[in-house]
Chains A and B, each alone.
Chain A
Amino acid sequence: QSALTQPASVSGSPGQSITISCTGTSSDVGGYNYVSWYQQHPGKAPKIMIYDVTNRPSGVSNRFSGSKSGNTASLTISGLQAEDEGDYYCSSYTSISTVVFGGGTKLTVL
């Protein structure tokens, strides 16, 4: 299974909105509403931000939102804050009941 495709890096200024894309195929992202997003700060474990494309776990800021169109899922962060800086990973369920992650995107808050 091939990793999902994410941009290597994105950046934005405080208060702005940014979107991170996650592109797969009809056998993973496009075939199921089972995309998740994780935030990872240096030296820390990943933290779930979105599951099942659009759902936010309890305690996650409503500045984080997820969506999907065709084979591409997206994570949008609005009202960017310095604490949002870090690495973001998407993952998807696949047609062979496995999980595939994206390569990760480094978010820089300018």
Chain B
Amino acid sequence: QVQLQESGPGRVKPSETLSLTCGVSGYSISSGYFWGWIRQPPGKGLEWIGSMYLSGNTYYNPSLKSRVTISLDMSKNRFSLKLSSVTAADTAVYYCARDRRALAGPAFDFWGHGTLVTVSS
């Protein structure tokens, strides 16, 4: 069974960079699939952040593209998210997920439990 687990600071100061890592077990990220990030502000809906394939092929939400970087670490079977210049509007639960995009359309079939990141000084 594929399992994902987010890790990283629960609080980030305004203007700084949010950094999260997603550890994957039960599947090798070098075997295929895209790997993505989705966030959910408290009490609000889901927002796709971006997805990356092992080839380096990456897609980002246009509204976040200038601030987002997703990267894969195949040696440690994990992938990461960096979001720069954060503001209070970036406060959210951040989920990592496996994206079936390589098979057909994008769809997130395995998710991490999510981690709350609060932007506050």
Contact = CB atoms under 8 A, between A and B. Distances in A.
Contacts of B95: 45-46
Contacts of A47: 111
A10 to B, nearest CB: 16
Contacts, number: 71
Contact of B46 (A34, A44, A46, A52): A46
Interface residues of B, number: 23
B51 interface: yes
Given A45-B113, A104-B45, A104-B46, A97 B59 contact: yes
Interface stretch (A16-24, A75-83, A88-96): A88-96
Given A45-B113, A51-B100, A57-B109, A102 B62 contact: no
B114 A45 contact: yes
A36 B47 contact: no
Contacts of B47: 101
B104 interface: yes
A69 interface: no
Interface of A: 1, 3, 32-36, 38, 44-48, 51-52, 57, 89, 91, 93, 96-104
30 contacts: A1-B61, A1-B63, A36-B105, A36-B107, A36-B108, A45-B95, A45-B114, A46-B38, A46-B46, A46-B95, A46-B108, A48-B107, A48-B108, A51-B100, A51-B105, A52-B105, A52-B107, A89-B46, A91-B48, A93-B105, A97-B59, A98-B59, A98-B62, A99-B51, A99-B61, A99-B106, A101-B38, A101-B46, A103-B45, A104-B46
Given A35-B105, A51-B107, A101-B45, 16 more contacts: A1-B63, A3-B45, A34-B105, A34-B107, A45-B112, A45-B114, A46-B108, A52-B104, A91-B48, A93-B106, A98-B59, A98-B61, A99-B51, A101-B46, A101-B47, A104-B46
Interface of B: 38, 45-48, 51, 59-63, 95, 100, 104-109, 111-114
Q: Which 7 A-B pairs have the closest CB atoms?
A: A34-B105, A51-B107, A36-B107, A99-B48, A45-B111, A104-B45, A101-B46
